[in-house]
Amino acid sequence: MRTTWHNPQALLTPQTSIEEYMSENIKHITDTSFDADVLKSDRPVLVDFWAEWCGPCKSIAPILEEVAKEYDGKILIAKMDVDANQAVPAKFGIRGIPTLILFKNGVAAAQKVGAMAKGQLTSFIDSNI
């Protein structure tokens, strides 16, 4: 088995914002859209609570993009900017970012805090969907 090392920092420069990197594979959600996009979704939703100034959030962004493509149709990956949307993060007690919460059937089923490697993220998803 061959190991491929992934360097997410190489994909983002200090001048690159997370939004510039993301594509249609990841849904941007807000306090207003949260219920419809996450709680009422017919498939599991992994929500990344993040902020533009957060270094670890920037490092996990390209990993989430890859995983969103690989899990297309199985789960939805969404991102919520905690600076622009404060009600939902407060409701779920978000204190550190990035925080990833996997929602199933409208319920928070699993949570991880901090950036992680792609293998750790896929293991987290696979063990909880």
Catalytic residue positions, numbered: 54, 57
Task: Give, in order, the Cα–Cα distances in Å from 61 to each of 1, 11, 50, 77, 100.
Answer: 26, 9, 9, 11, 12
CA dist., res. 100 & res. 117, Å (int): 13
DSSP-derived pairing of the beta strands 45-50 and 99-104: antiparallel
How many Cβ atoms from other residues are within 10 Å of residue 35's Cβ?
A: 13
Task: Quote the Cα angle for 91-125-45, to 5°.
Answer: 45
CA dist., res. 3 & res. 129, Å (int): 26
Quote the tokens at residue 98: 């990035």
